[in-house]
């Protein structure tokens, strides 16, 4: 939810492309990798597309790919190498 995302940013638990996010209004674009801590686990997702409007959860899930192999199973993608 938007309120949960805002709280994670306030706690300093969100990074975009390895840079700490300072504002909840930080814009992301396709290709950006967002990492955050949720329930004690580090999550990494890659933005695939920008949403046109707020919609159902199923549409929102189509906008990103989870990169954490440990959380999604052996068939998941691995995070891009550090540069």
- C-alpha dihedral over 43, 60, 64, 2, to 10 degrees? -40
Cα–Cα nearest to 14, from 70, 51, 63, 28 = 28
Cα–Cα nearest to 30, from 82, 77, 65, 74 = 65
List the strands of the sheet with 64-66, edge to edge. Answer: 19-20, 14-16, 33-38, 41-47, 64-66
Residues near 17 by beta carbon (within 8 Å), at least 6 away in sequence? 32, 33
Share of the chain above pLDDT 90, in %: 42
Question: Tens-of-pLDDT digits for all 83 residues of the chain?
Answer: 778 889 999 998 999 999 999 998 999 999 999 999 888 888 999 999 988 777 778 888 889 999 975 554 444 454 455 44
Distance between CA atoms of 40 and 73, rounded to whole angstroms?
Answer: 18
Whole-structure pTM value: 0.73
């Amino acid at each position: 939810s938007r309120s949960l995302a805002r709280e994670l940013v306030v706690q300093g638990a969100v990074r975009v492309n390895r840079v700490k996010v300072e504002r909840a209004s930080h814009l992301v674009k396709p290709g950006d990798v967002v990492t955050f801590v949720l329930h004690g686990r580090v999550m990494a997702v890659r933005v695939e597309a920008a949403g046109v409007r707020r919609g159902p959860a199923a549409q929102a899930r189509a906008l990103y790919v989870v990169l954490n192999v440990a959380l999604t199973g052996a068939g998941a993608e691995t995070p891009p190498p550090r540069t």
